[in-house]
Amino acid sequence: MKYEAYKSRLTTIADIGYSIAMLGWDQETYMPEKGAGFRAQQIATLSGIVHEKFTDKEFGKLLKKLDDSPKKLSEKQRRNVTQTLKDYKRQKKYTREFVELLSKTTSECFQSWQKARHENSFKQYAPHLTKMIALKRKEADILGYKKHPYDALLDQYEPGARVADLDVLFKDVRSQLVGFVKKIAAAKQNEDKFMYLHYPKDKQWNFGIELLEQMHYDFKAGRQDISAHPFTTSFSSKDVRVTTRIAEDNLKSMIWSCIHEGGHGLYEQGLPESEYGLPSGEAISLGIHESQSRLWENMVGRGLPYWKANYKKLQKYYPGNLNKVTVEQFYKAVNIVTPSLIRTEADELTYHFHILIRYEIEKALMEGKLEVKDLPEYWNAKYKEYLGIKVPSDAKGVLQDIHWSHGSLGYFPTYSLGSFYAAQFYATAKKEIKGLEDKIESGNMLPLLEWLREKIHRHGKYYSAEELCKKVTGEKLNFNHFMNYAKDKYSTLYNIKTL
């Protein structure tokens, strides 16, 4: 009975939460400009109701009672209650004053960032960001941590992730990936000029839909629309929306954002319908979510078998641009590695240097070892050190990402974690699914999707990221899998000898 009451409360909260998500989706896709003011108010009102319902004292008592008599619950029920109680205790730590101050600081900081980026002026942004960092340090104290204040922030996006583990992981990135990328830079470079010819919009759109259908993204439980920044959101596992963007002078932009969001979408569509509103019906963490998008985007969607399956279709859309380009040439163009300034445009290897730099900066800011006013100089020095490039302006440097202005510190590492989990999952999938890449080459993505459904999607949050990784692959996250994937693929692409 008590469990039913718990479930019913979470269902109500999910109903409101998903309605907020729907308003957010509309805001990014179809909402007319003038709607912004009241929309923000509507979202804030509903968010307040969710917060009240979740942190209500009676609900807290119910959770404690359930948690105190674990024998009356099944294993899954017990895990759900433990998870919700953890979230409840965390939410209760915030005072109303702190939440309001954080929300006010965030909107000021965000507006200041937009203007500063536009005007290429870090100086005007610095006082706002300084306030934000001070609040984040306070937040870490409020939430509590054992070893490092950054752990408290990480835990919000990647439960269980700790500086102690990430330091080891990023040390591997530094020691192994930096050298390998240098070898690639010294090798004969591949050609991708044809990616930047004129590619009319409508055909790109149709091709993108074909790719999503081939992945078995369920259009009866979802749809694709256009937005400035591609994203995935869901209102239940039966209504999962993806968005994409199309640039007519850059074929790369749409294709891989479409596959990426498709991967996120498949995870959401694969979460168990019966667990609506419960932790067992939710994604584990941002890192695991990102592993699903990157596995499809990179391991599958930047692979030769995938393009053997799809290149002829693409040529039919754009015969003038592509008929003289072979599938092998196309594959090489898809996988060009070159150090660049902008994180979101980086290739799948140098991408992790962008994250490494942000990770080191966030940690130093939280430790108080780095001050906001010194950020541009620090940033530029790191880009020189890890990527060997000179940053021409703060707009293209330290001001490029939205995250800090939103107060999202601890978020960036989940992008790298996602790629590393993806490589490890994919290595296991190749072992367990006989002839996986032959199947992909024939355009049959179902065996891979079914494997992901069985091993990952259907469990929701039942396992932690670490437990899931061990269960699926037999070991905890191990950077070697990503490095092996990278060496295998790029040694061939760039004709490099590796030992």
Instruction: Give the count of residues interacting with Co ion (CB under 5 A).
Output: 1
14/422 with CB nearer Co ion: 422
Q: What is the dihedral of CA 207, 208, 214, 216, to 10 degrees?
A: -150
239/297 with CB nearer Co ion: 297
Closest residue to Co ion, based on beta-carbon distance: 293
214/293 with CB nearer Co ion: 293
Residue 130: which residues within 8 A CB-CB, separation 6 or more?
371, 372, 373
d(CA 305, CA 351): 23
Select which of 58, 139, 158, 261 is catalytic: 261
Closest listed residue to residue 350, CA positions, set 253, 415, 255: 415
Rounded least distance, CB 290 to Co ion, Å: 5
21/116 with CB nearer Co ion: 21
Using CB atoms within 10 Å of the CB of residue 134, give its burial: 0 to 12 exposed, 13 to 18 middle, 19+ buried: middle
Taking CB under 5 A as the binding criterion, the range among 42-50, 204-212, 246-254, 286-294 that sits at the site for Co ion is 286-294
Taking CB under 5 A as the binding criterion, the range among 194-202, 293-301, 432-440, 452-460 that sits at the site for Co ion is 293-301
Distances (CA, A) of 259 to 58, 208, 383: 44, 8, 29
Taking CB under 5 A as the binding criterion, the range among 135-143, 292-300, 389-397, 451-459 that sits at the site for Co ion is 292-300
d(CA 244, CA 11): 30
Closest listed residue to residue 131, CA positions, set 407, 450, 438: 407
Rounded least distance, CB 263 to Co ion, Å: 8
Residues within window 209-228 making contact with Co ion, judged by CB under 5 A: none
Indicate the pairing of strand 222-226 with strand 232-236.
unpaired
Q: Which two tokens stand for residue 285?
A: 């963490």
Q: Is 119 a catalytic residue?
A: no
The partner residues of 234 in beta bridges, in order of sequence, read: 240
Taking CB under 5 A as the binding criterion, the range among 8-16, 134-142, 291-299, 366-374 that sits at the site for Co ion is 291-299
Residue 84 binds to Co ion (criterion: CB under 5 A): no
Taking CB under 5 A as the binding criterion, the range among 198-206, 290-298, 435-443, 482-490 that sits at the site for Co ion is 290-298
Closest listed residue to residue 438, CA positions, set 295, 262, 309, 260: 309
d(CA 310, CA 440): 10
Please identify which residue in 84, 112, 234, 293 interacts with Co ion, judged by CB under 5 A: 293
Query: Are 293 and 261 spatial neighbours (Cβ–Cβ below 8 Å)?
Result: yes
Rounded least distance, CB 293 to Co ion, Å: 4
Taking CB under 5 A as the binding criterion, the range among 97-105, 270-278, 287-295, 303-311 that sits at the site for Co ion is 287-295
d(CA 251, CA 233): 24
The type of residue at 63 is L
Query: Are 299 and 422 spatial neighbours (Cβ–Cβ below 8 Å)?
Result: yes
9/294 with CB nearer Co ion: 294
Query: HSE (CB half, 13 Å, CA atoms) of 302?
Result: 25
Residue 324: which residues within 8 A CB-CB, separation 6 or more?
none
3-state secondary structure of 380: helix
263/277 with CB nearer Co ion: 263
d(CA 316, CA 310): 10
Rounded least distance, CB 106 to Co ion, Å: 22
234/293 with CB nearer Co ion: 293
Rounded least distance, CB 248 to Co ion, Å: 24
293/310 with CB nearer Co ion: 293
Residues near Co ion (CB under 5 A) are: 293
Just list the catalytic residues. Answer: 261
